[in-house]
Copies of this chain bind each other. A is one copy, B any other.
Amino acid sequence: MAQLRIALAQVDTTVGDLAGNADLVSTWTKRAVADGAHLIAFGELTLTGYPPEDLVLRRSFVAASQRALVALARRLAEEGCGEIAVVVGYLDASAQPAPNVGRPAGEPQNAAAVLWGGEVVARYAKHHLPNYGVFDEFRYFVPGMAFPVLRLHGIDVGLTICEDLWQQGGPITVARRSGVGLVLCINGSPYEQGKSFQRDALCAERAREAAAALAYVNLVGGQDELVFDGDSLVVDAAGELVARAPVFSEALLITDLDLPAAGSGPARAVSGAVDAGAVDAGAVDAEDGTTMTVTRTVLAAEPLAPFAPLPPVVADRPEPAGELYTALVTATRDYIRKNGFSSVALGLSGGIDSALVATIAVDAIGADAVHTVALPSGYSSGHSVTDAAELARRQGTRHAVVPIEPIAAAFRAAAAALGGLHGLADENLQARVRGTLLMALSNQHGHLILTTGNKSELATGFSTLYGDSAGGYAPIKDVSKTRVWGLARWRNAAAEKRGEVPPIPEEIIVKAPSAELAPGQLDSDRLPDYGILDPVLDDYVSHDRGRAELIAAGHDPAVVDKVIRLVDLAEYKRRQNPPGPKVTSKAFGRDRRLPITSRWRENPPA
């Protein structure tokens, strides 16, 4: 057996910020060195941030990532961190380009490198590429076919990246066959409710398959529409949990491992004399239809002198509602900060959605930076204005009241010449007047506008294009109405536990939901009860179940038909940027997918 102290650095990178991300690596590596670690690993695509989307296809960006990696290796050594093995993710390009129509331009690779003694001593390119849900990696990367094994203080360590764990065969199979003692997996695995338990089971299963301990390090923080929860962990070769980092905060998870010494493993398929600095390569059937090449690099052949291990850290997991609430606060805070905003504004209707969004915003960036505006119309009830004011008072936001009736009247007068506005056209008008006022505040004062629509509304089209959907960030767009209430109650209860005043007035939580765009209007006039609607939406939107499957799953056929009709009609609203015919090789839009939150600039810094 041989000992190793590993550090999993769960950090919050920013897409395109090569300099800032390198600084993060430097800062956390120094801490790991101070803590006596021998190996530190960072999340997927550490240097470029994740996901960089179509920036990957720009050669200048790939070249900048490659240069940043070499510079970082040198810098770490200069900073006294040359004797810790540093595993960072970066963007590379295949050294064997096979240019072909249909392969990504420049043959980029989603890579990991090992930095040691001022040099890049090993490189690995992700083998399994995810291409479902939010992942588009066949668009961006060519797969790697080599599996590097590092001998570090007498322990053989294999490298993998994220999706490599989620698919059968490939690097895990090769890890077993090459007899490594530790599999390191660097990840950019976005948060989803309940996904943490899936990851636990997966890591345990893959560790047993690899017959090796497995260290899993994930990113943390928000990046455009993704939010990473961290939740980094270590399991032993039997799949038992050894250590776990907290969720939604940066952390350094230090863990002492006692692992089989190199060459003593049960399944050492590729053997050979291994000396310091030598490389020994072999081709291994990866059991996924491909053959991978094992490359061996010796950093330090001999085990360390025995040392007293630290007790492992196992962070508690939050309860589900608290976890979700923290995800939303984290995502909102990072979106604001990473896009260079310092304040937000939102309309407060007196209803639950805007109340929750205001509370998230205050928890994210503080009440002083949150501007709330009540925008009552002639149809707004008295309690809408007073409940909004009470929420603003409890939380200390900067609050104003601007009646919209004079503006709506001016629109109605102008539209009279064209036949007037009635019914839905007049309802939408009110929402658009509000949206235009908020956008004017954004343009004048530089606030980011938060929209307040929830997933149930957006999915059923129960919102106004360019009205309540106008704004820069939508904190609860993936949260159903039922969960909105649950989060509000959880947040109030959390305050009460701390002896604080609940931030959300009870009146706002208990009132019947209404858009208040027509006299006496209630959501229930047009939509099924949210307790019935939300499960149907979940099955139809999230699970792509067809009508027959939905009914077989026990949903009321009348509700199913209504929901399907609403959702199918609402799909259009998703795309507020009007479509138009594409007539060049790349239109501005659809076939050009760049991250929103990105510090990458082609321009040299001014």
A residues apposed to B, CB below 8 Å: 54, 57-61, 100-105, 128-134, 136, 138-139, 163, 166-168, 190-193, 222, 224-227, 324, 327-328, 331-332, 335, 373, 400, 402-404, 406-407, 409-411, 413-415, 417-422, 424-425, 428-429, 432-433, 435-437, 439-441, 443-445, 451, 455, 458-459, 465-466, 469-479, 538, 541-544, 546-549, 561, 564-565, 568, 571-592, 594, 596, 601-604
Contacts of A129 in B (CB 8 A): 102
**Which 4 A/B pairs are nearest by Cβ-Cβ distance?**
A60-B546, A331-B581, A474-B580, A477-B580
Listed by A's residue number, 19 A-B pairs whose Cβ atoms lie within 8 Å are A54-B544, A57-B544, A58-B544, A59-B546, A102-B132, A131-B138, A133-B586, A222-B581, A402-B415, A425-B444, A439-B466, A473-B578, A474-B580, A478-B588, A542-B585, A564-B601, A571-B594, A571-B596, A573-B577
Contacts of A437 in B (CB 8 A): 411, 414-415
User: Would A588 and B479 count as touching, CB distance under 8 A?
Assistant: no
User: Would A579 and B411 count as touching, CB distance under 8 A?
Assistant: no
Contacts of A548 in B (CB 8 A): 60
Q: How far is the CA of A54 from the CA of B541 in the complex (A)?
A: 11
Q: How far is the CA of A33 from the CA of B227 in the complex (A)?
A: 58
Q: How far is the CB of A589 from chain B (nearest CB, A)?
A: 5
Given contacts A136-B139, A429-B440, contact A576 B579 (CB under 8 A): no
Contacts of A574 in B (CB 8 A): 577, 588-589
Contacts of A455 in B (CB 8 A): 584, 587-588
Q: How far is the CA of A478 from the CA of B583 in the complex (A)?
A: 6
Pick from B451, B465, B602: contact of A546, CB under 8 Å: B602
Pick from B191, B409, B601: contact of A568, CB under 8 Å: B601
Q: How far is the CB of A292 from chain B (nearest CB, A)?
A: 15
By beta carbon, the residue of chain B nearest A132 is B102
Contacts of A415 in B (CB 8 A): 402, 437, 440-441, 444
Q: How far is the CB of A536 from chain B (nearest CB, A)?
A: 12
